[in-house]
Amino acid sequence: MRNNKGQIWAYSLMLGLTVVVLALALAPTGKTFIDNAMGNSTSEVIGLNCDTTSSIFIKGTCRITDFSLAYFFGGLLLIGGGIILSRINF
What are the pLDDT digits (tens) for 32-48?
A: 999 999 999 888 888 99
CA angle 23, 76, 31 (to 5 degrees): 50
Query: Of 10, 8, 37, 19, which is closest to residue 77 (Cα–Cα)?
Result: 19
User: Could you tell me the pLDDT band of residue 86, with boundaries at 50, 70 and 90?
Assistant: confident
The pTM of the full predicted model, rounded to 2 decimals, is: 0.75
pLDDT tens, residue by residue, 61-79: 999 999 999 999 999 999 9
